[in-house]
Amino acid sequence: MIRLSVPLRQALSRLSLPLLIALAFGTMLLGKADALLAERARMVLADALTPIWAALREPVGALRDAAREAGTLLDMRAENARLREENARLHRWQAAALALEAENAMLRRQLAYLPDAAPGFTTARVVADGGGTYARAVLLAAGPNHAVRKGQVALDERGLAGRVTEVGARSARVVLATDINSRIPVALEGSRARAMMVGTNGARPRLQYWPAGNRPQEGDRVVTSAEANAFPAGLPVGVVRWTASGAAEIELFARLDRLDVLRLFDYGLGGILPPEAVARPEPRAKR
């Protein structure tokens, strides 16, 4: 340590505060003049302190969770009242549902109704779009011992997507409802009127051939119909949309532009696709 005389040391200690205050002003000017320097110094400090903060994150998080928990405890009274009210409302709905179920069962008994068997299904991943004979089709990857058969109905999580047309050893092709070759018998859910859904290669297939006097309304729900024994009745398809030019189109529930997984349902329907009858288009023979 450097030996200094006592008066000098006293003078230095008295001077140090004003000097440092001047230095603080200098720092301010420096920080103002070179913003990058301050930024870099902050980053260096943050880098050095990050381990400490990382170690403290757990207890701090626990504390914060505890505080939030206390908050929810305080809110519990209001929450409880709300749940009670909601429960009462749901009980009313449950009563309505039970009454409807009972009524439905009674009506079915009167009709000697045969319920449909629950269909089995396979889930397969969509691996490629397009290709093959069809403009709107997807290729599915199926396992080596898959149970995919021609004519099975493909649904995504929202509604009807299409139908299996070709089956290979490890893959299957599904022609989508939007393909121009697709003709699907549908029914308007409200009026039970039958119609055809005709693909156009566009995003929305057309609705055609509805019975006279049963003009489909904008927003009507469209479901499959069991006509022609190709589809089971009642699968959700989409809703009716009228275009500006006066054509009825169907906005599909299924999101065909972003398919990733399809469920293939086996309803055991022969329908209009008898096995191997329409294997693939043969080149027309020359005459």
Partner 1 sequence: MKGRPAPAYGLLRQIDALARAVLPGGLTALLLMLAAVPVGVPGLVPAVALPCVFFWSVFRPAALPPPVVFALGLLQDLLTAAPLGAGVLVLLVVHGLAVRWRRLLVKQSFLLVWVTFCGFTAGAAALGGALQALLAWQVLPVPPGAWQALLTAGLYPLLAWLLTRVHETMMRAEAAP
Interface ranges with partner 1 (CB under 8 A)? 13, 16-17, 20-21, 23-32, 38, 41-42, 45, 49, 52-53, 56-57, 60, 63-64
Q: How far is CA 97 from CA 84, 85, 102, 260, in A?
A: 20, 19, 9, 35
Give the strand pairing for 160-167 and 153-155: antiparallel
Which tokens hold the place of 170? 């490890």
Shorter beta-carbon distance to partner 1: residue 57 or 192: 57
Cβ(236)–Cβ(253) under 8 Å?
yes
Least distance between partner 1 and beta carbon 5 (Å) = 15
The number of beta carbons lying within 10 Å of the beta carbon of residue 225 is 24
DSSP conformational letter for 108: H
- State the Cα–Cα distance between residues 248 and 270, nearest whole angstrom: 29
- State the Cα–Cα distance between residues 258 and 136, nearest whole angstrom: 13
Shorter beta-carbon distance to partner 1: residue 60 or 105: 60
Cβ(184)–Cβ(224) under 8 Å?
yes
Which tokens hold the place of 1? 């340590």
Helix (H, G, I), strand (E, B) or coil at 277: coil
Shorter beta-carbon distance to partner 1: residue 3 or 109: 3
Least distance between partner 1 and beta carbon 6 (Å) = 13
Shorter beta-carbon distance to partner 1: residue 71 or 219: 71
Least distance between partner 1 and beta carbon 19 (Å) = 8
Least distance between partner 1 and beta carbon 21 (Å) = 5
- State the Cα–Cα distance between residues 28 and 128, nearest whole angstrom: 62
Least distance between partner 1 and beta carbon 8 (Å) = 16
The dihedral region occupied by 168, where left means phi > 0, alpha psi between -120 and 50, and beta the remainder, is beta
Least distance between partner 1 and beta carbon 25 (Å) = 7
Shorter beta-carbon distance to partner 1: residue 56 or 98: 56
Give the residues across from 252 on adjacent strands: 238
Shorter beta-carbon distance to partner 1: residue 59 or 283: 59
- State the Cα–Cα distance between residues 100 and 229, nearest whole angstrom: 29
Least distance between partner 1 and beta carbon 79 (Å) = 23
Least distance between partner 1 and beta carbon 248 (Å) = 56
Shorter beta-carbon distance to partner 1: residue 31 or 268: 31
Cβ(151)–Cβ(181) under 8 Å?
no
Shorter beta-carbon distance to partner 1: residue 25 or 209: 25
The number of beta carbons lying within 10 Å of the beta carbon of residue 31 is 13
